[in-house]
Amino acid sequence: MVKCIAIVLSGCGVYDGTEIHEASAVLVHLSRAGAKVQMFAPDVDQMHVVNHCEGKPTAEKRNVLQESARIARGDVSDLTKLDITAFDALVIPGGFGVAKNLSDWAVKGKEYTVQPQVEKLIKGFHEVGKPLAMCCISPVLAARALPGCEITVGQDNECERWPYAQTATTMTELGCKHVNKNVGEVHVDVKNKLVTTSAFMCNAPIHEVFDGVGVMVTELLKLA
C-alpha cells in the first residue's frame, strides 16, 4: 500500500527557511521508498530575509509559502489545507526557518512558542497515532508540542563537529529526554511515534547527512 506523507516547509534556504539539502534528502528517500508526497507551508511573511552570501539580514520581505514553492517546484499548498486524515505521516525538515517562521526559537530560545498551525498539526498527527519525523533543529517543535517526548539533535557536548550541542541541553531542561546520536543515526520514540536525527546540527559531510535522513525516512515508514 502506498504511503502518503505530508512535508511541512518553512521557506527556502538554510538561514531563513528550510535547509534545501535536508528537504531534498527527504524527498529522494521517500521517492525511492515509493511514497506519495505533498508539501505544505504557512502563508505568512518570513521573520526576515537573509543574504546567504553574507549571512546578514536584509530589508527585503518574502513569503514563506512562496519561497517554499522553490523547493516544491511549485507544488506546495497552504498549511491550513493540510487534512490529517489524508496522510499517513508528517515530516518537517530543518533549517533556520523552523526556528524563525515555524516558531520563535531563534529569538526567544528556551521561552519559545511554536506557530499555532504547526503545533496543532503535530498534536493532531500524534493524537490519531500517526508518526512524525523531524531533523536538524525541527525536533524543538516536538519538544514544545509533545512535552516529555524523546528526541535527538545529535550530541550534547559542544565541539567543532557539534557546534549546536547546547540545544540538546535546552531540550533536557524543557523536560524532554535527549538521546545522543551520531549524524548517521536516529532516535525512535516508540511511545510518541517520533523519529528524529541531527542532520546539519552536525558539521558533517553532506553524504553523511543524506544517509542519516535516509535512516529517518526508513524508520518513519516502518511506523506508518
DSSP string, 25-68: HHHHHHHHTT-EEEEEE--SB-S-EEETTTTEEES---BHHHHH
Q: Which residue has the cell 550534547?
A: 156
Of the candidates 168, 99, 102, 92, the one whose C-alpha atom is nearest the C-alpha of residue 131 is: 92
Q: Which residue has the cell 496543532?
A: 120
Q: Is 84 helix (H, G, I), strand (E, B) or coil?
A: helix
Alpha-carbon distance of 76 to 70, in angstroms, equals 9
* CB neighbourhood size of 81 (10 A): 10
Bridge partner list, 50: 57
Phi-psi group of 11: left, alpha or beta (phi > 0 → left; psi -120 to 50 → alpha; rest → beta): left
Active site amino acids: 136
Amino acid present at 27: L
Describe the crossing of helices 20-32 and 64-71 by its angle, rounded to 10 degrees: 50
